[in-house]
Amino acid sequence: MDKAGKPFFPSHAERMWLRNAVGKAYSDSSLYLKDKRVARLLLLLRLLHQDVGGFAALPEPELNEIISSAVGVCGFLNPIEAQDVIDVVVEVIQTEARIQGSP
């Protein structure tokens, strides 16, 4: 969801910008990613993380909705594959939040 509490769905222009930005970063990068969907997802999650002021502050249902939407927008259409990606991303965010919250 965005700051106004509405579901986040990038507009057509935002999706095109995201694809172009990922394509440029992907082609310019020395890091080789076999799956461009992963690069798109990483870029989109970074932008969303900045927009919402950090994922750790979000309630879990909203976090899951954001991650699920981002995964779908980035082209993970196979339900099993998409769920695996969602689980990994949520686990990483929760682990990072626990690490940052520990003394």
Question: Model-level pTM?
Answer: 0.61
Range of the domain at 78: 34-101
- Give pLDDT tens digits for 32-88: 456 788 888 888 888 888 887 888 788 888 888 888 999 999 999 899 989 988 888
C-alpha to C-alpha distance for 77 and 32, rounded to whole angstroms: 22
Total domains present in the chain? 1
CA distances 25 to 17, 20, 69, Å, are: 12, 9, 22
What is the chain's mean pLDDT, rounded? 75
Q: Supply the DSSP symbol for 57.
A: G
In a domain, 14, yes or no: no
In a domain, 66, yes or no: yes
For residue 12, pLDDT beyond 70: no
In a domain, 25, yes or no: no
Q: Encoding tokens for residue 89?
A: 């991303």
In a domain, 10, yes or no: no
In a domain, 29, yes or no: no
Helix axes 60-73, 36-52, angle to 10 degrees: 140
For residue 99, pLDDT beyond 70: yes
